[in-house]
Structure 1
Amino acid sequence: MARAKNVLFIMFDQLRRDYLSCYGHPHLKTPHIDRLAAKGVRFDRAYIQAPICGASRMSTYTGRYVNSHGAGWNNIPLRVGEPTMGDHLRKAGMSCWLVGKTHMAADTEGMERLGLSRGTTIGDRVAECGFDVWERDDGMRPEGPDGLYDPNGAQAYNAYLRAKGYGGDNPWHDHANSAIDAEGNVLSGWFMENSPRPANIAEEDSETPYMMRRGMEFMEQAEGPWCCHLSLIKPHWPYIAPEPYAGMYGPADFLPVNRTQAEFDAAHPVLKAAMTNPVSLTFARTEVREAVLGAYMGLVKQIDDQIGVLLDWLERTGRMADTMIVLTSDHGDFLGDHWLGEKSFFFDASTRVPLIVYDPSPEADATRGTVSDALVEQIDVVPTFYAVAGGDPEEIGHIAEGHSLLPILHGERTEQPRQIAICEYDYSATPLRGRLGVSVEDARCFMAASKRWKLMHFEGGFRPMLFDLENDPEEQHDLGDSPEHAGIREEMYGHLHAWFRRCDQRITKSRRDLAAISAKIGRRGVATGIYAESEADPERVVKYRGRKAQPWQDIVKNQSTT
């Protein structure tokens, strides 16, 4: 095997770790993803930095916490000037390309202020989260009475579908994400009663195989070294799958729901507000969960089959020999667990994601097929890729706040240099804030998770939540007001407060630069605090010794005579 020269960074959307067989699902077999895990390292404690698409991805693409980059919710622009994965990799000589989704909103006001415009290389990169774009598709083209949710969504995919003969003004909805009845009426995938039906599309034309082909088309023509971010939308809703995946799974294959009536009755106020939002109340219904789970599992099975197509192609073309492959998800999906729908809370079903890394380098041979228990964050991928590109992660350590995974992949260490993993949620722009009656400033919460404990802190005067992950892995017993666990809460708050005190905005000078500044000042003539010349370092004050100057009185006298 050769050393990794290129990086294939695969991200799925809303893919739960426990719906892969290598992470323990007893009925949903994913042999191709398992095959990748057997070639690399499967990380068992990988956490996202925000339980919502946009904010999670902005952290992954910048290598920075939400608290640092500020793009805390969907469609909150990533500010101009925020360094990204693409900026770092190009500096190290590696191109960085997007095929698929980013959910990034451009800071158009900031671009205008700085005179940056689309149609230029730098303007396009700033507007696209630092990526050069092969094809961007955020995978969302719903339409309501006020227009399209994303006017740019699925444009190229819709054009592909029309060229294949799929009609209508929005085949993304009418075919890829809807079924039809015997009379040809569109049964929208937005209505979960239609989830058990097959999508009205040939499987090879559905979203996952389409974008997988687009990724292979990019790699076929790419000249390395390159990073390809292959970012696929499924199994994100609408929950509907094409045949043959639509009917593969039924109730006998479903994981039991992780919720109890006691959990609901005693829920923390913020959690209770999340449990009683419309999506969660819908997923609390047994018929809804059973309708959705079969489609969700079918979409995951399709993902795995497409990973098999990809791996076969990479091996056949020789690209497995010099390409690092990273497979992960931007967050999970509650699917009714904890009486919740969607993903916007801190339970493991949302925040703890699959992360599998294959490194072809011989240094990684000793760890192939192993499982790492290290506490990993998604922000670790940026310094990892920078190291693969030949850079020293310390060079960007003042910007990218994660830690390279290469030492673990190469068997040099077993842990990351952190005691907690952080996840943040800014719900200021959501109906949850109104239901709780908190201000925009207080509509924030934070998760600090060690291997044993998970603390959830809520601004706005709410008590914390605390879970013992070792003895309560299902996170059913909230110890946030338990007198016996006051010391644990204090300890976890100590970790959280230490995280808040980090120097997260000091990004214009590296740590090495800062360490060298005092020495540079001394060698450039600054000689403060020295009483006598004899006490000074002769080398540093060489410019001040043996000098002659005319008395100022003589200078003034000469001025008056002239």
Structure 2
Amino acid sequence: MQRTIKNILFIMFDQLRYDYLSCAGHATLETPNIDRIAAMGVRFSNAYVQSPICGASRMSFYTGRYVHSHGAAWNNFPLKVGEMTLGDHLREIGVETWLVGKTHMKVDQKGMDRLGISSQSIIGARVSECGFDVFERDDGLWAQGPEGFYDSRRSPYNEYLKSKGYEAENPWHDYANSGVEDDGAVASGWFMQHADKPANIREEDSETPYMTGRAIDFMEKMASENSGPWLCHLSYIKPHWPYIVPEPYHAMYGHNQIQPVIRSEAERINPHPVYAAYMDNAIGKAFSRDEVREKVIPAYMGLIKQCDDQIGRLLAYLEQSGRMDDTMIVVTSDHGDYLGDHWLGEKDLFHEQSVKVPLIVCDPSSSADGTRGTVCDALVESIDLAATFVEAEGGKVPDHIIEGRSLMPLLRGETVDDWRDFVISEYDYSASSQAAALNLSPKQARLFMVADGSWKFIHAEGGFRPMLFDLVNDPQELKDLGDDPEYAEIIDLMYERLARWARRASQRTTISDETIVESRGGSRRSGVLLGLYDGTEASPDLTEVYRGRAQGRYTGVDEDAG
């Protein structure tokens, strides 16, 4: 039977490292269900995000455009009204596009007000939500400080917890992301010393199973309505911090199962100023301590194990409902997590632990049978998924808007002679304390990465020298060669590539190259005739309207005067 793609299940984990899967070589963490998807599809081993920060990275996934193009360069920087997204492209070809989970989208409210777009309208609701129709949005960022909540919107998850009897103003924190001390005091997940405690919640009510259940609810709804093709963006908040997980996952891994830390004392000797600023922040200092890593990483592994078990639950549902044969499954992440490598925590910079992500694509079509279970080492960018989804659903990729390239030829084993030879990632850290510490203006606090598989180059605005890593001889990126004159030719090559990328045509989004080419040398019958001396240069029918007797002679005398 010929199998084809009808639906797309686009799964994104938050802050999942590319190398924290057993199919990617982790020595002690077992992820059999994600591994199963890899065995049914293709695992891309060199997939890079367009920015190593949640909001900017996600906006590139959802628009198929570089940060340089869409402009939403950091968390809570609005995505400007007018940017086309997955929902816009897929609805054009009859595919419903839905969200279950997180986007970290910040609406361009000023732009909507200027254009008179109401958020209560269908168009306004979609513009406000990255182009998605929302089945459930929950960014899972319900942190509360002295001046209120980080995210002031409604929390569906908190409402769910309250309905289950978890009585608190913010059960997301008090139950799902905290444990309990022996004396009954709250053991907040914000304090990493508590990462080895079980979260004070029934496992089935914790965030990851909850969101899995909502995705199944969505698919049940689509089936009951006998809907047409859909894309469901199932976007989990975990294994993102707070690093705390319920029983039994909190005790599945110990400090003896942690991968060896990747860092060198030499990295702290005369480091690049931007790198030094990040090593010197509170997060870098915390994760440089072994006791922090020994508390956090087993919990991080437990969170991933729980995520994998929920993928097993999803796969069972897809099989039971008959959707496995017509649903493309994608597993990825918005960025990684340093976990103490390179003396850093969180993400932000461009070491592999931060900027490289897992990417697994299972195409159910018969034409992809030849690549099942393979690993593709082509240089892939997160913006490629938008192009892939459009082509997978039978559309033509609008490459004057979407800057990524479809992965469909790679999924179906086709040879692509002109595939990209380098990838780009960007980071605008202008809103960070590091920019303030370096006394940089917002326009100066920007980084650009160019990587080609052999070399990784980082340009820093603000008058700083570049950074350079030899990925062949130093795959762990422990020695920065950016100030070594011996590598001047490599640095020149990387600057040439960065300049070539910066010169790309990225802002002409209202008319395609194809339309422009088709208009060349078109008919002159619209009446605009240029370059003629006496009219004999053109065919008579084009000039006929400009010949014949004059309508009259103007004498220059006003007949009514006098």
Native 8 Å contact 1:331 1:343 kept in 2: yes
Q: Which residue of 1 aligns with 2:163?
A: 163
Q: Distance in 1 between matches of 2:523 and 2:15?
A: 51
Q: Which residue of 1 aligns with 2:75?
A: 74
Native 8 Å contact 1:408 1:415 kept in 2: no
**Is residue 2:455 matched to residue 1:456?**
no
Q: Distance in 1 between matches of 2:245 and 2:363?
A: 32
- The code of the aligned residue for 2:184 comes to G
Secondary structure at the residue paired with 1:175?
helix
- The code of the aligned residue for 1:8 comes to L
TM-score, structure 1 normalization: 0.96
Secondary structure at the residue paired with 1:208?
helix
Q: Which residue of 1 aligns with 2:47?
A: 46
- The code of the aligned residue for 2:7 comes to N
Native 8 Å contact 1:279 1:341 kept in 2: yes
Q: Which residue of 1 aligns with 2:387?
A: 383
The alpha-carbon deviation at position 167 of structure 1 amounts to 1.2
Q: Distance in 1 between matches of 2:137 and 2:546?
A: 66
Q: Distance in 2 between matches of 1:279 and 1:150?
A: 21
**Is residue 2:542 matched to residue 1:543?**
yes
**1:27-176 → structure 2 map (5 Å cutoff):** 27-152=28-153, 155-176=155-176
**1:314-393 → structure 2 map (5 Å cutoff):** 314-393=318-397
**Is residue 2:194 matched to residue 1:194?**
yes
Secondary structure at the residue paired with 1:187?
strand
Question: Structure 2 vs 1, CA of residues 523 and 266 (structure 1 numbering), >3 Å: closer, same or farther?
Answer: farther
Q: Which residue of 2 aligns with 1:490?
A: 492
Q: Distance in 2 between matches of 1:265 and 1:415?
A: 42
Native 8 Å contact 1:374 1:415 kept in 2: no
**1:476-487 → structure 2 map (5 Å cutoff):** 476-487=478-489
Q: Distance in 1 between matches of 2:418 and 2:175?
A: 45
Q: Which residue of 2 aligns with 1:310?
A: 314
Cα offsets for 1:77-97 (capped at 9, x unmatched): 001111111011101110100
Secondary structure at the residue paired with 1:374?
coil
Q: Once structures 1 and 2 are overlaid, which stretch shifts more, 91-100 or 517-526?
A: 517-526
**1:196-275 → structure 2 map (5 Å cutoff):** 196-222=196-222, 223-275=227-279
The alpha-carbon deviation at position 66 of structure 1 amounts to 0.5
What is the number of residues matched between the two proteins?
556
Native 8 Å contact 2:17 2:358 kept in 1: yes
Q: Once structures 1 and 2 are overlaid, which stretch shifts more, 414-423 or 51-60?
A: 414-423
Match of 1:469 among 471, 477, 482: 471
Q: Distance in 2 between matches of 1:252 and 1:317?
A: 41
Q: Distance in 1 between matches of 2:188 and 2:349?
A: 27
The alpha-carbon deviation at position 516 of structure 1 amounts to 2.4
Secondary structure at the residue paired with 2:220?
helix
Question: Structure 2 vs 1, CA of residues 300 and 548 (structure 1 numbering), >3 Å: closer, same or farther?
Answer: same
Secondary structure at the residue paired with 1:320?
coil
Secondary structure at the residue paired with 1:233?
coil
The alpha-carbon deviation at position 527 of structure 1 amounts to 3.1
Q: Distance in 2 between matches of 1:414 and 1:40?
A: 18
Question: Structure 2 vs 1, CA of residues 550 and 433 (structure 1 numbering), >3 Å: closer, same or farther?
Answer: same
Q: CA RMSD in A?
A: 1.8
The alpha-carbon deviation at position 406 of structure 1 amounts to 0.5
Question: Structure 2 vs 1, CA of residues 258 and 555 (structure 1 numbering), >3 Å: closer, same or farther?
Answer: same
Q: Once structures 1 and 2 are overlaid, which stretch shifts more, 130-139 or 260-269?
A: 260-269
Q: Distance in 2 between matches of 1:510 and 1:488?
A: 35
Cα offsets for 1:23-72 (capped at 9, x unmatched): 11011011110000000000001000011000000011000001001100
Native 8 Å contact 2:288 2:344 kept in 1: yes
The alpha-carbon deviation at position 519 of structure 1 amounts to 2.8
Q: Distance in 2 between matches of 1:507 and 1:192?
A: 46
The alpha-carbon deviation at position 390 of structure 1 amounts to 1.6
The alpha-carbon deviation at position 553 of structure 1 amounts to 5.4
Q: Distance in 1 between matches of 2:489 and 2:553?
A: 76
- The code of the aligned residue for 1:543 comes to L
Question: Structure 2 vs 1, CA of residues 352 and 314 (structure 1 numbering), >3 Å: closer, same or farther?
Answer: same
The alpha-carbon deviation at position 417 of structure 1 amounts to 2.7
Cα offsets for 1:242-269 (capped at 9, x unmatched): 1110011112210111111111123111
Match of 2:292 among 288, 291, 303: 288
The alpha-carbon deviation at position 526 of structure 1 amounts to 3.2
Cα offsets for 1:324-362 (capped at 9, x unmatched): 111100000000111111100011101010000000111
Cα offsets for 1:473-526 (capped at 9, x unmatched): 101111111222111111111111000001111111111112223334645333
Match of 2:411 among 397, 409, 417: 409
Q: Distance in 1 between matches of 2:475 and 2:416?
A: 22
Native 8 Å contact 1:199 1:242 kept in 2: yes
- The code of the aligned residue for 1:229 comes to H
Native 8 Å contact 2:525 2:542 kept in 1: no
- The code of the aligned residue for 1:34 comes to D
Native 8 Å contact 2:524 2:542 kept in 1: no
Q: Which residue of 2 aligns with 1:278?
A: 282
Native 8 Å contact 1:332 1:352 kept in 2: yes
Native 8 Å contact 2:196 2:299 kept in 1: yes
TM-score, structure 2 normalization: 0.96
Native 8 Å contact 1:376 1:416 kept in 2: no
Q: Distance in 2 between matches of 1:369 and 1:71?
A: 36
- The code of the aligned residue for 2:456 comes to K
Question: Structure 2 vs 1, CA of residues 548 and 434 (structure 1 numbering), >3 Å: closer, same or farther?
Answer: closer
**Structure 1: gaps of 5 or more residues:** none
- The code of the aligned residue for 1:48 comes to V
Q: Which residue of 2 aligns with 1:419?
A: 421
- The code of the aligned residue for 2:497 comes to H
Match of 1:437 among 433, 436, 439: 439
Secondary structure at the residue paired with 2:46?
strand
Q: Distance in 1 between matches of 2:556 and 2:454?
A: 82
Q: Distance in 1 between matches of 2:417 and 2:460?
A: 29
